[in-house]
Chains A and B, each alone.
Chain A
Amino acid sequence: MIKKIWNHDYFGLLARLVLAGVWGFAGFIKLGEEGGARDAIAAYRLGITGDLLTILGRLLPIVEVLLAVLLLVGMFVRWSALASTLLLGIFIVGIAQVWARGYAIDCGCFGGGGDVDPEGRHVRYTVEILRDVAFMALSVRLLRNPRTAFSLLPESVTKEKV
């Protein structure tokens, strides 16, 4: 029953729309900030500096908006879902490592970012990771079964093999 709903074309549409909303929102806010996501990325302390940091900062919001557009209209759903899954995976690892190393940052997921008050960081990090895991589940659904309702460019694949 759950599997039937999960793989239903309309659930696929729902997954697409939810992810499009999330990526679009996240991307647009970052586009409006100087340097894009640069300051937010710096807070993760991954040793990324200089030009690479600047380029990644400008690239991330663009990729997010591009993903949102593709998911919204339903084009290259499989590829979009793959990118969405990978990006969310990177975000989860990013948050987990900064958490494990004892830093207190704003994830900068939807704009902002940087160091913040350490108070309540465990709850914040937990919520952020769980949220990303939920989005990742939707992405995986689309990756494994990119067939969805109202898709501009329907995937020429047969039904998912389970």
Chain B
Amino acid sequence: MGKKIGIGLVAAVMGFVILYGAGVINFGGSADPTNTEVPVGVVPAFVDQTDASWLLNPESKATSNLVIWEDPQCPACALFEAGFGTSVKKLIADDVVRVSLRPTTFLDRGYPGRNSARAVNAWACAIEGGAGLKFHDTLYANQPAKEGTGWTDEQLQGFGAEAGISGSAKTTFDKCVVEGTYYKWGVESTKMFDDLGVPGTPNISLDGVEMPVDVLKQGPAAFIAWVTNNAK
């Protein structure tokens, strides 16, 4: 008697496992019901076509690469930008390293509204508009207090104005934000984020070596020293 129930139960669970594994049953990550039209978009030409990173200083003569992974909705990323944004710019000004920013939108999995993906798209629109870094800084400086709240299209367009995009470029930018012209950038970059098993955000590495957590705790001077001492 017990054995029969047992076999039935195990069979039921195994069936469930197969269905779940095949993706027939899916408890999480269902499409956002409030926003059914997800743009396709393209990967912009101004990002690296193989790894979807955006190199801040292509003119650099440095040989070491500092890579920074961020999700626009990640509070720790906003803290990093507030505390170390100027340090990164100093490293660029002194030509210590090449700096690549790599976006991920993995936090969208936990919140409605595809806010990280829309923000990454808007960021690409701003790069096209010639104000990529300023938009990036404005975006993180204006992260909502509560994680997951996100931004409206109007807010993202406002950040573009704040970053200095104006005139006909602003018209193009605004359209790009709404239409999701570069939506695919976030999608492709997040795929790589998953495939590489990046442990979280922000994630900072120099030539493939992850920065120890204690470095950021010690402040900007320690951060600059770590990068400078470990750069080739």
Give the interface of A toward B (CB within 8 A). Answer: 31-35, 38-39, 42-45, 47-50, 53-54, 58, 62, 65-66, 69, 73, 75-76, 102-105, 113-118, 152-154
Which residues of A have CB within 8 Å of B157? none
Secondary structure type dominating chain B contacts:
helix
Name B184-212 residues within 8 Å CB distance of A: 194-201, 203, 210, 212
Task: Flag if B197 contacts A48 (CB, 8 Å).
Answer: yes
Chosen A-B contacts, 25 in total, with CB atoms closer than 8 Å, are A31-B20, A32-B27, A33-B110, A34-B109, A35-B109, A35-B194, A38-B194, A42-B199, A43-B200, A49-B195, A49-B197, A50-B197, A53-B194, A62-B16, A62-B17, A65-B13, A73-B9, A75-B2, A102-B212, A103-B199, A103-B213, A105-B200, A115-B200, A118-B214, A152-B2
Closest partner residue, chain B, to A47 (CB atom):
B197
Secondary structure type dominating chain A contacts:
loop
Which residues of B have CB within 8 Å of A153? 2-3, 5-6
Closest partner residue, chain A, to B16 (CB atom):
A62
Which residues of B have CB within 8 Å of A35? 28-29, 109, 194
A-B pair number, CB within 8 angstroms? 86
* 5 further A-B pairs in the complex, CB-CB below 8 A; given A53-B195, A53-B197, A116-B76: A33-B28, A35-B28, A114-B200, A115-B203, A152-B2
Which residues of A have CB within 8 Å of B20? 31, 58, 62
Task: Flag if A45 contacts B199 (CB, 8 Å).
Answer: yes
Contact (A104, B9) CB under 8 Å given A42-B197, A49-B195, A115-B200: no
Q: Determine if B217 is an interface residue (Cβ-Cβ < 8 Å).
A: yes
Q: Determine if B140 is an interface residue (Cβ-Cβ < 8 Å).
A: no
Contact (A115, B199) CB under 8 Å given A69-B13, A103-B213: yes
Report how far A39 CA is from B201 CA in the complex, Å. 11
Task: Flag if A75 contacts B27 (CB, 8 Å).
Answer: no
State which of A33, A53, A102 has its C-beta within 8 Å of the C-beta of B213.
A102
Which residues of B have CB within 8 Å of A69? 9, 13
Task: Flag if A34 contacts B199 (CB, 8 Å).
Answer: no
